[in-house]
Amino acid sequence: MARAIYPGSFDPMTLGHLDIIRRASKLFDEVIMAVVGNPGKSPLLPMDIRKNLIEESVKDLRGVKVEEFQGLTVDYAKATNTTVLIRGLRAISDFEAELGMAQANKQLFPELETIFLMTKAEYSFISSSTVKEIARLGGDVSQFVPHPVNDYLREHFSRGTKQK
């Protein structure tokens, strides 16, 4: 069985992430979306919420599992007996960091292959940080994120505004 891991912060999941996981799920029997919970990253969304929102967003995709992990991606890959990592590339600016990470990971776990899927042009400018910034300032992010994420962000930030 061909299995891959798609690791990330997914803080929150966007339509760019959804597009990558949808395409990856056609290439592999099983793809684990591995949500990283390393301390020090200080995400906006708590782990359980990030996971729930992903689960709701991918529920129609075959062979996609959502798991949480801490520590190094290579250690998680070894622990789950997986030798393929999926990463998405949006622009040249992603490439430099991703190349370094892929090379370091290869050094740490030589059997590991990183496979890059290029973003669909329409999602190439979408990042979790942009989405958070727009939502925080009261903007509409419905065209950038799956429905469950949109509902959560609307609720989260409107609550914040009401409290002020």
In the region spanning residues 16 to 75, those forming contacts with ligand ADP, defined by CB under 6 A, are 16-17, 20
Tokens (6 digits) for 34: 């591995």
Is 32 a known ligand-binding residue? Answer: no
3-state helix, strand and coil shares in percent for the chain, rounded to the nearest 5: 45, 20, 35
Q: Binder to ligand ADP among 123, 141, 146, 149 (CB under 6 A)?
A: 123
- Whether 20 contacts 139, CB under 8 Å: no
Of the candidate residues 126, 131, 141, 153, the single one contacting ligand ADP (CB under 6 A) = 126
Nearer Cβ to ligand ADP, position 81 or 93? Answer: 93
What is the biggest distance separating any 2 CA atoms in the chain, rounded to whole angstroms? 52
Residue that the structure tokens 């899927």 belong to: 117
41 among known catalytic residues: yes
Determine the size of the site formed for ligand ADP (CB under 6 A). 16
Window contacting ligand ADP (CB under 6 A); options: 12-20, 22-30, 63-71, 148-156: 12-20
Reply yes or no on whether 120 is catalytic: no
- Give the helix ranges, DSSP H, for the chain: 15-27, 47-57, 73-79, 92-108, 128-136, 147-163
Least distance CB 72 / ligand ADP (angstroms): 12
Q: Which residues are annotated as a binding site for substrate?
A: 9, 41, 73, 87
Catalytic residues: 17, 41, 90, 128
